[in-house]
Amino acid sequence: MKRAFLLISIVMVLCFSVITAYAHQNAQKIEIDTYHFTDDACYIDLLVKMDSDDEDYTKFNNDNMDRFDFDKTKLSEYIDEDGYISFSCHYKGIYSDMIINKKTVRDTLISENCFTLDKDLEIDLNVMKALYDKKRVFKIAILDKEGSILRISEPFEVHNEDKGYISSDVKYDISKNEVEYYWSNNYPTDSGIKIYNKPLAFGILMFFIFSISFLVCSIRRRKRK
């Protein structure tokens, strides 16, 4: 019996040596952490590069924007020279947290604002897939209480061929107009399990199943005696 348990333990160690589980590192929402505010900063939005022919474009996202009190006219009509428009106003199904709510984190006054395609904020590996697949590019826009744009950041990507996929909050220093974030090489909808040697893993799995069956049969025979 002891030999059987020892054998199974060895098999399990071998399994873990060729199969690695890892936590998902890809962002399932776009979170903007802003700091070093100007006094007139009240709202934050993302600008996305897209045109009216895009399948994800909508003339105005009432479900999203009706939650805010400011005049949306300027923001909904805004388009810059590079073709960036309001993500919150014109992207289908977007759910935006636009109000700047300042709080102190590690002696720094910041605001954490989320933009997601799932308003319930559930963990869903496919939430960001549409943005990854189309390699959407964004800018951060800071607005005053009237909805006028005060400052716009440099563009940032959610998917880059060389660097991978955005995997962190986007930190935006308003005073310096600097954006910082990190990348992950894992595809955003993968399983979270990486198998380095599939034939070996399959062989070990089959051997593990055989070992368990052998152990069960041995126990039953002992009980009959």
> For the chain, which residues make up each domain, given as ranges?
2-21+192-224, 30-184
Q: Which residues pair with 157 in a beta bridge?
A: 137
Greater pLDDT, 138 or 24: 138
CB within 8 Å of 23: residues ≥ 6 apart: 192
- 140-188 pLDDT per residue, tens: 999 999 999 999 999 999 988 888 888 889 999 999 999 999 888 765 5
pTM: 0.71
* Cβ contact 90:61 at 8 Å: yes
- pLDDT class of 104 with cuts at 50, 70, 90: very high
Task: Report the range of poorest mean pLDDT among 32-41, 81-90, 161-170, 192-201.
Answer: 192-201
